[in-house]
Amino acid sequence: MKEEDGAERQLVSELAELRRQLEELKAAEAERKRTGVALSGSEDHYRDLVEHSRDLICTHDLEGIILSVNEVTVRLMGYDPKDFINKRSIRDILAPEGRHLFDDYLARIKRDGVASGLMVVQTSSGEKRIWEYHNTLRTEGVASPIVRGMAHDITEHVQMERALRQSEERLAVTLRSIGDGAIATDREGRIVLVNNVAEKLTGWTQGDAAGKRLDDVFLLFDEKTRERCYSPVEEVLDKGRAVSFTHHLVARDGTERTISDNAAPIKDGEGNIIGLVLAFRDITEQRKMQEELIKSGKLESLGVLAGRIAHDFNNILTAILGNISLGQMDAGSNQPLREHLAEAEQACIRARDLIQQLLTFARGGAPVKKAVSIARFLEDAVRGALIDSEMRCDFDLGAGLWPVEIDEGQMGQVIYNLVRNAQEAMPEGGNITVRAENVVFNESRHLLPLRPERGVKIAILDEGVGIPQENLAKIFDPYFTTKAEASGLGLAACYSIVRSHGGYLSVESKPGAGTAAYIHLPASDKEVETKRKVEIEPRPGRGRILVMDDEEAIRKLCRDVLNHFGYEAALASDGAEAVELYRQAKQAGHPFEAVILDLTVPAGMGGKEAINKLREIDPDIKAIVSSGYSDDPVAADFREHGFSGFVAKPYDINDLVQVLHDALTREHE
């Protein structure tokens, strides 16, 4: 019985174990069914994501055979989906020029399990597209290894970058080739490009300037205040508008230039500001030319004024000086009277010098030039200016200086004024240095108005107080002066005289560092005239002299002077009357020995027209022209116009008599 009970218990236990195992099998089957449903849903979801992705998705095996592709890939490549699966290799869709890289790609996948980069594919229509890919190798949970690939078509992006790069290259080429300086910056105002012209003007090379802020390289100062100005980066970048300005640019080596600048924003295709470009040019010489034109305009205006008053003023002075001279002759031994007349004569001479400065600006009165040795002229002129001074002067006159053609009287006035200015700048004493050297003017010197030619450069240097910067630009302006008793015509007259000689006058100075005045004169090929005029005391003469002048006081003066020296004078108020009197005298057999003609007669025929009519009557006529001012070059080349002599108003009666004597005794030319 015990054995039967034990067998029964064993059987019950085995049946229970079988039931338990059966339950586990049922539970496992239920779980398997549930998992199968979930996997099926996940696969459907994954397939939906792949098909509707904007990226290109495909799989291929380790030989490159395409196993699957999504809809985007099919659409972009233009192939029938059936042509892809298990029929094409990745190698087949690559552009021909890139297929040789395919084996390297497979090797990387097999070795690293991942590969990224760019590939160029070719669509069914032959169009080439650029893909950026990231592919991974999968070996687990699959029957055989497969490569899952994901790519993004970046063709348009690359093309835009390429176009932008080409545009930047074209911009760089354009900026480097233009004649103006150009600097391009980014949105933050940091320099991206500096062209060749900008390198020269700023002293900063592309390599040194790149990455620096514009204000660290492009140093600007206000023309008038000399205060630092900052580039218009903020105004251009923030407000998006172009600006223009004119400032002083200080280069890296301290060189200053006047520039005209235009700054404008650089925008992308959507209108966003991505930087700015500065285009600027050196207008230093242009500004100098403008200043020269302004100076010339001022001098021209003053010349018109001088021309209007010169004739009458000189006529008055001529009458005064002439009658003083006659009074001195008649004063005899009356010493007090002679002294009074001498004082009056000196006052008239000072007035004559003042009007002579005014006449310098007149449109006529061309200098009567001759070739001279500039070294000898400078020594004489400078010593003459310092005759009453203890100031020391050092001469540094180069050997073999070329001759120059000058009016010694006018140019002597220039040297006198410059030397006296140097002397006044050193009230406690000092040295004046006068230098001269041969130079060749060329276009690089930019000396206005000189053309490229040989010349002589004269320098007058002092050790004085110098000229303040604010006054330096105005020193040649008529009537500008810092001296209480000065007329303000000295340097203006010097400037005009040098210009009338075809030269150029400039001044450089710094307060406390002295002043340097430079005169540039064209050289002459003519031989230096060494003959000096021999002064001859006026001698009495004989004969009838016809005097034509529109001023009655001068006619009477000339009559009295000529009578005093033994001549017989006849008077005419204009050229027409003089021509008629000369004709009548010749027909009557009592011709005039000579005529004295006033060149300018505002209300009638002047000397220039009268001499032509008189020469028709008498080709051998001896005529003297007299003038205080004229806008005609007759005074400078009187012989070319048929005259035998010239006397300038206001004239000393001795000069008048001497010129008349020379004309009567000289053989007819």
In tens, the pLDDT along 196-215 reads: 888 888 899 988 988 999 88
Contact residues for 57 (Cβ-Cβ < 8 A; gap 6+): 50, 69, 70, 72, 73, 148, 149, 150, 151
- Give me the sign of the Cα torsion angle 379, 522, 300, 316: positive
Q: Domain 544-665: which topology?
A: Rossmann fold (3.40.50)
pLDDT tens-place string over residues 568-584? 999 999 999 999 999 99
C-alpha radius of gyration, the chain, whole number: 51
* Lowest mean pLDDT, pick from 28-32, 60-64, 456-460, 539-543: 28-32
First to last CA, the chain: 186
Whether the predicted pLDDT of 493 surpasses 90: no
Distance CA 322, CA 657 (A): 12
Output the CA torsion sign for 291, 295, 296, 298. Answer: positive
Mean pLDDT of the chain: 79
- Could you tell me the pTM of the whole model? 0.42
What are the DSSP calls for 450-471, one per residue?
--SEEEEEEEEE--S----HHH
Taking the CA of residue 469 as centre, how many other CA atoms within 13 Å lie in the half-sphere pointing to its CB? 4
**pLDDT classification of 39: cutoffs 50, 70, 90:** very low
What integer pLDDT is reported at residue 574 of this predicted model?
Answer: 93
Give residue 527's pLDDT: 82
Query: Which pair of tokens denotes residue 142?
Result: 């699959």
DSSP 8-state code for residue 19: H
Q: What is the pLDDT of residue 519?
A: 92
pLDDT at 171: 66
pLDDT-derived band at 595, boundaries 50, 70, 90: very high
pLDDT at 669 over 60: no
Confidence bin at 4 (pLDDT 50/70/90) = low
User: SS3 helix, strand, coil % of the chain, rounded to 5?
Assistant: 45, 25, 30
Q: What is the pLDDT of residue 490?
A: 66
CA distances from 431 to 267, 398, 434, 636, 651 (A): 62, 19, 10, 37, 37
For the cut 90, the answer to whether the pLDDT of residue 246 exceeds it is no
Q: What are phi and psi of 601, to 5 degrees?
A: -125, 100
Per-position DSSP letters for 343-374, written without gaps between them: HHHHHHHHHHHHHHHHHHTSS------EEE-H
pLDDT for 48 beyond 90: no
Buried b (16+ CB within 10 A) or exposed e, 496-513: bbbbbbbbbbebebeeee
pLDDT, position 579: 94
Task: Decide if pLDDT at 501 tops 90.
Answer: no
Mean pLDDT of 609-627: 92
Do 53-153 and 159-282 fold alike per CATH? Answer: yes
Max mean pLDDT range (172-176, 409-413, 439-443, 484-488): 409-413
Q: Under CATH, what is the fold of the domain 159-282? A: Beta-Lactamase (3.30.450)
| Phi, psi of 134, rounded to the nearest 5 degrees | -145, 105
Q: What is the CATH number of domain 374-522?
A: 3.30.565.10
* H-only helix segments in 189-282: 196-202, 206-209, 214-217, 233-239
Omega before residue 449 within 30° of 0, cis: yes
**Per-residue pLDDT tens digits for 444-472:** 444 555 555 788 999 999 888 888 877 77
Average pLDDT over residues 99-121: 90
468 residue type, one letter: P
Of the ranges 63-72, 200-209, 619-628, 648-657, which one carries the lowest mean pLDDT score? 648-657
Residue 43: per-residue pLDDT: 47
Tell me which H or E stretch contains 426: none
pLDDT at 457: 93
Residue 534 has pLDDT above 50, yes or no: no
- What SS3 class is residue 156? helix
User: What is the pLDDT averaged over residues 88-112?
Assistant: 89
Least confident range of 38-52, 84-98, 542-556, 645-659 = 38-52
Give the mean model confidence (pLDDT) for residues 487-500. Answer: 73
Q: From CA 552, how far away is CA 263, in angstroms rounded?
A: 68
Q: What is the mean pLDDT of residues 74-87?
A: 81
Gap between the Cα atoms of 174 and 56, Å rounded: 41
> Which sequence spans correspond to the domains of the chain?
1-52, 53-153, 159-282, 288-360, 374-522, 544-665
According to the model, what pLDDT value does residue 611 have? 93
pLDDT recorded at residue 452:
54
**What pLDDT is recorded for position 668?**
41
Per-residue pLDDT at 53: 64
Residue-level pLDDT at 37? 45
Bigger pLDDT: 484 or 603? 603
Between these two residues, 293 and 74, which has the higher pLDDT value? Answer: 74
pLDDT for residue 594:
93
Cα–Cα dist 278/184, whole Å = 6
Long-range contacts of 296-303 (CB under 8 A, 24+ apart): 296/499, 298/477, 298/478, 299/361, 299/478, 299/492, 299/495, 299/496, 300/361, 300/363, 302/358, 302/361, 302/478, 302/492, 303/361, 303/362, 303/363
Architecture of the 53-153 domain: 2-Layer Sandwich (3.30)
Span 626-651, mean pLDDT?
Answer: 77
Instruction: Name the more confident of 294 and 642.
Output: 642
The CATH T-level fold of domain 288-360 is Helix Hairpins (1.10.287)
Q: Which of 159-163, 170-174, 385-389, 504-508 has the lowest mean pLDDT?
A: 170-174
- pLDDT for 321 beyond 90: no
For 380-396, what is the mean pLDDT? 82
Tell me, what amino acid is at 518? Y
Q: Is residue 638 predicted with pLDDT exceeding 70?
A: yes
Residue 333 or residue 481, greater confidence:
333
